[in-house]
């Protein structure tokens, strides 16, 4: 039956397994290093993460536009001085920078801005990527790949397609469709320029052509899923081009190509536009839209993450009803210890082992280190509580069973849901 776990060493066993298990990170904004400067990394990028910009701009007098005029180094200095030196850096995003430095072997107590900059400046990127993957103990990360981003589009079309770059399997693609779905009224013209016979009205020919566009990019990127970030007031179905595009283009192509649809819902874009990327907010969605998708398109698969804390219970309940729904991660403003703890416990209680607990959302390579360090700790603590409740009933657990569960929660559930092998 395998080695039984005793209550006295439960915490040590669970912790060791959670630390040992290699992760599939289902949503990041990282890139294969071969994509050039699309991949962000290093000290200044870490410190100027947009989560930290929002925290800084709350407490400095500087007008927003002045911040954006500063050089990257000046921005980093301002953030470092404001959040790390003039205040204690215990917010999750600040703490994350420090965990990263610590796990890279740097002396956090030294508060050595210049020293940290030098350390990163001397790293050789390919080696450093491997080092970060080792520390974070990752199998692979899923990128966010936008065919509407000029710089990225060029890399796919001019480097990947002609075979000048062979993408590294540690960086898997996700076809991101925000521009297609959220701004059709202008996007159709772009598609037309690119040789697709579409009109703004989305007639039958346009529908076929958008499908062709999707299949072309699926062919180019081999994505794990097709994702879109949707506003908190997303409704489905409704009389809108977005609704029509989802129903007539995304869902049939998703079915035909076996690439699931991943709606990420709950954003309120640019509620403070002067903050740029840091200016987005959150709103509660009506989960009826996800329910409708799961119930009316039972052969389709949906990977779903919702931004608002208030939607998390409904999402877990909905996932109990539909096996074509896989909830994933604690997204963006939810990626904080108190909320990860709450959401993870709730998912364990309602869904057992059938969920994808977390994703990093890392925008900067080095963040993989802290995002997974912090999440692993919480996942381990929560699992210890759940297994010890189980052992209270007289249930006997083996190490192998714990390993099986953790592997599912930290990666296998994704590949099983996709019915794909890594």
Shortest spacing between CB 29 and ligand RAT, in angstroms:
6
User: Which residues are 142's β-sheet partners?
Assistant: 172
Beta strands in 154-224 (DSSP E): 171-172, 175-176
Q: Specify whether the backbone of 97 is left (phi greater than 0), alpha (psi in -120 to 50) or beta.
A: alpha
The closest alpha carbon to 184, from 264, 255, 250, 260, belongs to 250
Any alpha helices (H) in 72-203, and if so which ranges? 72-79, 92-103, 113-121, 125-136, 150-155, 178-182, 184-193
Q: Supply φ then ψ for residue 304, to 5 degrees.
A: -130, 135
Answer with the entry of ligand RAT, Zn ion, none that 20 interacts with (C-beta below 5 to 8 A by kind): none
The closest alpha carbon to 287, from 324, 257, 317, 260, belongs to 317
Asked if 280 touches Zn ion (CB under 5 A), the answer is no
Question: Among 238, 277, 389, 416, which residue sits at the site for ligand RAT (rule: CB under 6 A)?
Answer: 277
Shortest spacing between CB 410 and Zn ion, in angstroms:
19
Answer with the entry of Zn ion, ligand RAT, none that 372 interacts with (C-beta below 5 to 8 A by kind): none
Compare residues 29 and 244 and give the one whose CB is closer to ligand RAT.
Answer: 29
Asked if 25 touches Zn ion (CB under 5 A), the answer is no
With contacts defined by CB under 5 A, name the span among 57-65, 71-79, 235-243, 359-367 that binds Zn ion.
Answer: 359-367
Shortest spacing between CB 227 and ligand RAT, in angstroms:
8
Question: Among 229, 254, 358, 360, which residue sits at the site for ligand RAT (rule: CB under 6 A)?
Answer: 229
Query: What element of type H or E holds 169?
Result: none
Asked if 371 touches ligand RAT (CB under 6 A), the answer is no
Cis check for the bond before 416: say yes or no (omega within 30 of 0).
no
* 267 close to 311: Cβ distance less than 8 angstroms: no
Asked if 332 touches ligand RAT (CB under 6 A), the answer is yes
d(CA 94, CA 332) in angstroms, rounded, equals 15
Query: What element of type H or E holds 347?
Result: helix 337-351
* 133 close to 170: Cβ distance less than 8 angstroms: yes
Compare residues 261 and 332 and give the one whose CB is closer to ligand RAT.
Answer: 332
d(CA 250, CA 301) in angstroms, rounded, equals 11
Asked if 374 touches ligand RAT (CB under 6 A), the answer is no
Question: Among 363, 371, 374, 403, which residue sits at the site for ligand RAT (rule: CB under 6 A)?
Answer: 363
Asked if 360 touches ligand RAT (CB under 6 A), the answer is no
Compare residues 21 and 144 and give the one whose CB is closer to ligand RAT.
Answer: 144
Asked if 67 touches ligand RAT (CB under 6 A), the answer is no
What is the contact mask toward Zn ion in residues 361 to 390, using x (rule: CB under 5 A)? x-----------------------------
Asked if 35 touches ligand RAT (CB under 6 A), the answer is no
How many other C-beta atoms can be found within 10 angstroms of the C-beta atom of residue 151? 11
| Residues at the contact surface with ligand RAT, assessed by CB under 6 A | 29, 144, 229, 277, 332, 361, 363
| Residues at the contact surface with Zn ion, assessed by CB under 5 A | 361
């Amino acid at each position: 039956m395998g080695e039984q776990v005793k209550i006295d060493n439960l915490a040590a066993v669970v912790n060791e397994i959670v630390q040992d298990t290699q992760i599939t990170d289902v949503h990041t904004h990282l890139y294969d290093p071969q994509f050039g400067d699309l991949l962000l990394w290093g000290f200044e990028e870490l410190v100027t993460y947009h989560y930290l910009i929002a925290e800084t701009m709350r407490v400095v007098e500087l007008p927003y536009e002045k911040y954006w005029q500063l050089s990257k180094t000046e921005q980093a200095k301002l953030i470092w001085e404001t959040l790390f030196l003039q205040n204690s850096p215990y917010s999750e995003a600040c703490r994350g920078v420090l965990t990263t430095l610590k796990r890279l072997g740097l002396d956090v107590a030294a508060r050595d801005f210049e020293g940290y900059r030098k350390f990163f400046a001397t790293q050789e990127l390919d080696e450093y990527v491997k080092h970060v993957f080792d520390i974070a103990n990752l199998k692979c990360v899923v990128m966010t790949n936008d065919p509407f981003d000029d710089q990225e589009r060029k890399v796919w079309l001019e480097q990947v397609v002609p075979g000048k770059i062979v993408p590294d399997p540690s960086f898997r693609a996700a076809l991101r469709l925000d521009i297609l779905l959220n701004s059709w009224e202008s996007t159709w013209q772009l598609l037309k320029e690119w040789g697709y016979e579409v009109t703004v009205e989305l007639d039958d020919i346009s529908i076929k052509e958008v499908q062709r566009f999707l299949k072309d990019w699926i062919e180019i990127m081999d994505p794990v899923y097709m994702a879109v970030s949707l506003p908190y007031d997303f409704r489905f179905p409704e009389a809108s081009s977005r609704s029509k595009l989802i129903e007539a283009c995304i869902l049939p192509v998703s079915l035909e190509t076996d690439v699931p649809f991943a709606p990420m819902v709950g954003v309120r874009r640019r509620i403070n536009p002067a903050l740029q990327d840091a200016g987005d907010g959150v709103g509660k969605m009506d989960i009826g839209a996800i329910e409708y998708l799961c119930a009316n398109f039972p052969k389709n698969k949906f990977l779903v993450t919702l931004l608002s804390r208030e939607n998390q219970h409904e999402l877990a309940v909905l996932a109990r009803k539909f096996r074509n729904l896989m909830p994933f991660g604690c997204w963006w403003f939810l990626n904080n210890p108190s909320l990860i703890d709450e959401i993870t416990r709730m998912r364990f209680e309602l869904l057992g082992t059938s969920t994808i607990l977390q994703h990093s959302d890392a925008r900067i390579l080095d963040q993989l280190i802290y995002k997974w360090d912090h999440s692993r700790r919480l996942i381990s603590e929560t699992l210890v509580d759940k297994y010890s409740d189980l052992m209270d009933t007289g249930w006997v657990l083996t190490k192998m069973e714990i390993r099986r569960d953790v592997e599912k929660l930290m990666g296998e559930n994704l590949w099983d849901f996709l019915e794909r092998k890594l």
